[in-house]
A = this chain, B = another copy of it.
Amino acid sequence: MVLFANERMDATGMGYQDQVFAQREQLLLTTARELFLAHGWEQVSVARVAEAAGIGKGTVYRHFPTKEAIYAQLVLAFSRRCLETYRQMPAEANPLLTMHRIIRRAFDLMNANRMEVQLCLHCERPEFQDRLDDAYRARFRELDQDYFDLFNGLAGEAVAGGLLKLGSVEEVHSGVETAFHGVMTRIAIGGFGACYGPETMESYFDHVADFLMAGIVGTSQDAWKRGIALCRT
């Protein structure tokens, strides 16, 4: 029986060989992660990962159908870890503040895991997803849905509390989602160009998080359209 990708890592109902297999898969993933971190995931060959893990190259392919599946597994693990973190964060005084806190925390989490963020963006591309096994693809979709639910939960509370207009939720989601991807890309790029940019990544994150909240609140108030119309050039 082949167990791809640490599903059912609990030892119950597993034969000894299965446990050895699962352990080796974990070793493989951590080894790959270390090498990817040290040398960049595109520069690290499967053979090198195998060697570093003290395992034959062919064995790697008993665990993962392709090198890209290793990427996918690392991304899924990271993404799940993040989601769990967000879920366990305490609610603030109101849902928009909670959202602000989660967003700000997400930026820090992603910034501390640049390689995973790069892989995330890489794995989201349809060219990548199309090449992927159905099983992996399903897990990505599931996570997408979980994140969407998390957002909708908070947005729903905000609507219920009169902080957000129901009609603005979709626009706000677009904005938040876009800012997320923007920050991910900034992190993946690895900082700012020579000619501009804030002092530190932290202040950049603060700016974007605040900007986002301004957008969320402003969107529901339609303030900018009225505001701008009143001003002269």
Contact = CB atoms under 8 A, between A and B. Distances in A.
Contacts of A170: 198, 207
A61 interface: no
A223 to B, nearest CB: 6
Given A182-B179, A190-B126, A163 B231 contact: yes
Contacts of A144: 193-196
A125 to B, nearest CB: 6
A172 to B, nearest CB: 7
B124 A231 contact: no
Given A145-B195, A185-B121, A185-B182, A171 B97 contact: no
Contact of A161 (B174, B181, B184, B233): B233
Interface stretch (A7-15, A16-24, A81-89, A211-219): A211-219
Contacts of A204: 174
Given A181-B182, A185-B181, A190-B125, A94 B174 contact: no
Contacts of A134: none
Interface residues of A, number: 68
A32 B180 CA distance: 32
A111 B208 CA distance: 24
B212 A217 contact: no
Given A125-B188, A212-B215, A218-B217, A178 B179 contact: yes
A194 to B, nearest CB: 6
Given A144-B193, A214-B223, A217-B224, 15 more contacts: A42-B127, A93-B233, A95-B233, A141-B193, A148-B195, A174-B207, A174-B208, A175-B208, A175-B215, A178-B186, A178-B208, A213-B224, A214-B219, A218-B223, A223-B223
